[in-house]
Amino acid sequence: MSETYFFVVDTENYAGDWEREMCAYVTGLVGDCGVGSDLAEDAQVELGKVFEWFEDHVEEQHDDDGSARPVKIRVTPGWYNNGSGVHRRGSGSYPAYLSIDIQLREAPSEEVFEIMRERVHDFAEQRPDNQGADPLTVTDIRVVRQIIEEELILP
């Protein structure tokens, strides 16, 4: 059995437009592509010792092209995409990717979770990634534990 933890942020905005920058702002980490490196440098200073926790506990995930990133976009529960980029609550034809997840080796402490939560809200309101951009609407922030259990069914 293995356990993986995900810090998940749900919004009402397509996550592919801002996920790497938010992660850089929240954790101080960037992927192979380097997107958000200016935000990450500032975050590393602001986070102090908490940045060390992120370095030790955030797992890189690989995108469809094989590039390692500390964040991925995620299907948002209760939302769908009509296939033309219009997102609505309810069920429909295609999943909506309005969420992100940051994979963690262990659950964060309440203190680290609160720091992450505050930084998510700061990023969503201020949009330091794109001055002048509309704020993001954050609908939920949570930590999810995924348990994978293997069972041998044939010798």
Cβ(36)–Cβ(25) under 8 Å?
Answer: yes
Cα 37 to its chain centre, rounded Å, is: 16
Q: What digits encode the pLDDT tens for the residues 59-116? A: 998 888 888 999 999 999 999 999 888 899 988 889 999 999 999 999 999 999 999 9
> Exposed, middle or buried by CB within 10 Å (0-12, 13-18, 19+), for 155?
exposed
Q: Residues of the chain with pLDDT > 90: what percent?
A: 82
Establish if 94 belongs to a structural domain.
yes
For the chain, what is the total number of helices (H) and then of strands (E)? 4, 9
Q: What is the pLDDT of residues 17-63, one digit of tens each?
A: 999 999 999 999 999 999 999 999 999 999 999 999 999 999 998 88
User: Does 154 map to a domain?
Assistant: no
Range of the domain at 138: 2-148
- Whether 155 maps to a domain, the answer reads no
Cβ atoms < 10 Å from Cβ of 154? 3
CA distance 50 to 59: 16
Q: Which residues contact 59 (CB under 8 A, 6 or more apart)?
A: 4, 70, 103, 104, 105
CB 99 within 8 A of CB 144: no
**Taken in order 66, 37, 8, 149, is the CA torsion positive or negative?**
positive
Distances (CA, A) of 54 to 10, 70, 139, 146, 155: 20, 10, 24, 19, 40
The yes-or-no verdict on residue 126 having pLDDT over 90 is yes
Q: What is the total count of domains within the chain? A: 1
Say yes or no to pLDDT of 141 above 90.
Answer: yes
